A and B are shown apart, each in its own frame.
Chain A
Amino acid sequence: MKQPYERPTLRKLTAGALHKFGPRAGAAPTTALDGVPVAELVARFGSPLFVLSERQLRRSYQAAVRAFGTRYPAVQLAWSYKTNYLNAVCRTFHQEGAWAEVVSGMELEKALLNGVPGPHILFNGPGKRRAELERACEVDAVIHLDNADELHLLLDVAVGRATRPRVALRVNLDAGIYPQWDRFGFNLENGEAWQALSRVVASGQLALVGLHCHIGTYVLQPKAYGTAATKLAAIALRCQRELHTAVQYLDLGGGFPSTNTLKGAYLPAADTVPPLDEYAETITNVLLGAGFPADELPLLVLEAGRALVDDAGSLIGSVLANKRLADGRRATILDFGVNLLFTSFWYDHHISPTREFSDHTEPTVLYGPLCMNIDQLRDSIALPLLAPGDTVVVHKVGAYNMSQWQQFINLRPNVVMVDEAGAVHLIRAAETLEYLQQLERVPAHLAGPRLSS
């Protein structure tokens, strides 16, 4: 029998290790996802292929509920739809008990179709249209007010309704992190938030039920949430005192990091990202000590997105070609690029081969198949000597990719979910040219054959 082949290659040895962290970790093969062989998944569903783990979705959800629920008596998670609004994912979280956090009329309808009762839908977003506000009122969703114009529009929409629309105020505040997200909601420090709250209550037309803030995304400082919780709790108490309105919930938004490594970070995220328990400890300590009577503690709402779903998603792809760049660097072209892996703009994603290789690795630039310069997945990753046809697995891609993916140059591929028993379900079929063209219309004068002059 012939020996297995691995292309001949040389690696220059450098005194100071260039790739101090990570390279060896990258080389351990991932042969199966949730027990299903990668080769079988590719044979059945093609490549590229997104794979979601139902078990991991539930685990992450339950871990978050445990982190907060063991420290505070009333906790509610609201699944942030934009992070991943594939229905199978949303329904998994809803089965676990999640409400829905939506930011557009489309997402609102999606949540309703997924069986979420209107009152369990929190409607965020800086750009709500009149028809969307009317729809939200109709189904009794909670409208998280973003700005004064929206407040006035809603007051207009509220006229003549049998029930008062339920609202929460989105507050932006200085939580000690940079950059401060001040573009969403009403600012706390300059008095705008309090003014809006007074107006909401004085109007008599709206029911103030909550206060909301979302301080950022991938926030690495639990302390920042402590600051935000302190400030939100203080306004809630002031509402009670001065406006005689008891706020039912405090929503601290999302922004909890996943264990993906940010681009340019020196250490892998697994070693640097604080566990969710630290965030929970900080937030709940603040709320328990804020001065609410023990039987009037507000409900704590959280809109964790990436922290719940990132770990549960993987992307399988294939090597299309290898080439060498003008400066001698190795480049590998994969069958997916930033069209599917939007988050490669943010993260140095962990990427594994799917079979055993020798210990030899080569620093490689990873490109996608798009003909545009920005289609680069990693600028230097130590990978074994992959050959065309070899598959790789990109880990922790569950957040934002399956909603921000682009239908650009290539169609979107199959998405499957592995259930807890190991059965594989197609949850979004690969797009076809017919699907892509369904909504196009060709004007009559362009419909015929090409005119000759």
Chain B
Amino acid sequence: MKLKPNIATSEAGFIFNPATGDSFAANPLAADILARAKAGLDAAAIKADILTRYDVAPGQLEKDWDDLLAQLRDFNLLDGSGKWEAGSEEQAMGKAK
């Protein structure tokens, strides 16, 4: 997952897109995920870490992960046209290449 480079995130979950002026509130887990993604961790590592720390089944996390990506895409916060981490989410959703 790659956020647009100019997107600002705060620890409290405030997200700002200076290009559009849009701002967003992320809940704690979304803020945590975005911070790790910005720090360069890949999706697999972030998910593995969530599974060790949170009380959630892997299947549920996968589903919610896809939903988070859908939201990021919908809000225009992702870099490129969705070619992040080839072979991961986008492909699984049948959209990539």
Q: Is A387 an interface residue (CB 8 A)?
A: yes
Instruction: Sample 6 A-B pairs with CB under 8 A, ordered by A number.
Output: A5-B60, A7-B67, A9-B30, A10-B24, A12-B24, A324-B70
Q: Which of A5, A10, A322 contacts B71 (CB 8 A)?
A: A10
- The answer to whether A12 and B75 have CB atoms under 8 Å apart is yes
| Shortest Cβ distance from residue B36 to the other chain A in the assembled complex, whole angstroms | 11
Q: Is B72 an interface residue (CB 8 A)?
A: yes
| Shortest Cβ distance from residue B54 to the other chain A in the assembled complex, whole angstroms | 4
Interface members, chain A 1-24 (any B CB < 8 Å):
2-13
Interface string of A375-387 (1 = CB under 8 A from B): 0000000000101
Interface members, chain A 122-169 (any B CB < 8 Å):
none
CA distance A12 to B75 in the complex (A): 8
Across-interface contacts of B24 in A (CB, < 8 A): 10-13
Across-interface contacts of B70 in A (CB, < 8 A): 324, 328
Q: Is A358 an interface residue (CB 8 A)?
A: yes
- The answer to whether B60 and A2 have CB atoms under 8 Å apart is no
Chain A residues close to B by CB (< 8 Å): 2-13, 322, 324, 328, 358, 360, 385, 387
Q: Which of A2, A5, A328 contacts B29 (CB 8 A)?
A: A5
- The answer to whether A8 and B53 have CB atoms under 8 Å apart is no
- The answer to whether B25 and A8 have CB atoms under 8 Å apart is no
- Measured CB to CB, the nearest residue on chain A to B61 is A5
Extra contacts besides A9-B30, A13-B23 (7): CB < 8 Å: A2-B54, A6-B28, A7-B68, A8-B27, A9-B67, A9-B68, A10-B68
- The answer to whether A10 and B25 have CB atoms under 8 Å apart is yes
Interface size on B, residues (CB 8 A): 27
Q: Is B43 an interface residue (CB 8 A)?
A: no
CA distance A416 to B75 in the complex (A): 45
Known: A328-B71, A360-B27. A12 touches B22 (CB 8 A): yes
CA distance A11 to B31 in the complex (A): 12
CA distance A358 to B28 in the complex (A): 9
| Shortest Cβ distance from residue A318 to the other chain B in the assembled complex, whole angstroms | 16
Across-interface contacts of B64 in A (CB, < 8 A): 7-8
Known: A358-B27, A360-B27. A9 touches B56 (CB 8 A): no
| Shortest Cβ distance from residue B13 to the other chain A in the assembled complex, whole angstroms | 9
Across-interface contacts of B28 in A (CB, < 8 A): 6, 358
Interface string of B66-97 (1 = CB under 8 A from A): 01101110110000000000000000000000
| Shortest Cβ distance from residue B22 to the other chain A in the assembled complex, whole angstroms | 7
Across-interface contacts of A358 in B (CB, < 8 A): 27-28
Q: Which of A6, A328, A387 contacts B27 (CB 8 A)?
A: A6
Across-interface contacts of A10 in B (CB, < 8 A): 15, 24-27, 30, 68, 71-72, 75
Across-interface contacts of A322 in B (CB, < 8 A): 67
- Measured CB to CB, the nearest residue on chain A to B22 is A12
- The answer to whether A9 and B55 have CB atoms under 8 Å apart is no
| Shortest Cβ distance from residue B59 to the other chain A in the assembled complex, whole angstroms | 11
Q: Which of A5, A12, A13, A328 contacts B56 (CB 8 A)?
A: A5
Known: A324-B67, A328-B71, A328-B74. A8 touches B55 (CB 8 A): no
CA distance A2 to B56 in the complex (A): 9
| Shortest Cβ distance from residue B67 to the other chain A in the assembled complex, whole angstroms | 6
| Shortest Cβ distance from residue A120 to the other chain B in the assembled complex, whole angstroms | 57
- The answer to whether B71 and A9 have CB atoms under 8 Å apart is yes
- The answer to whether B15 and A8 have CB atoms under 8 Å apart is no
CA distance A13 to B23 in the complex (A): 6
CA distance A10 to B32 in the complex (A): 12
- Measured CB to CB, the nearest residue on chain A to B77 is A10
Across-interface contacts of B72 in A (CB, < 8 A): 10
Interface members, chain B 1-26 (any A CB < 8 Å):
15, 22-26
- The answer to whether B26 and A9 have CB atoms under 8 Å apart is yes
| Shortest Cβ distance from residue A199 to the other chain B in the assembled complex, whole angstroms | 69
CA distance A6 to B64 in the complex (A): 10
- The answer to whether A387 and B33 have CB atoms under 8 Å apart is no
Q: Which 4 pairs, one residue from A and one from B, show the smallest C-beta to C-beta distance?
A: A8-B30, A360-B27, A5-B56, A328-B74
- Measured CB to CB, the nearest residue on chain B to A8 is B30
Known: A9-B68, A10-B71. A2 touches B55 (CB 8 A): yes
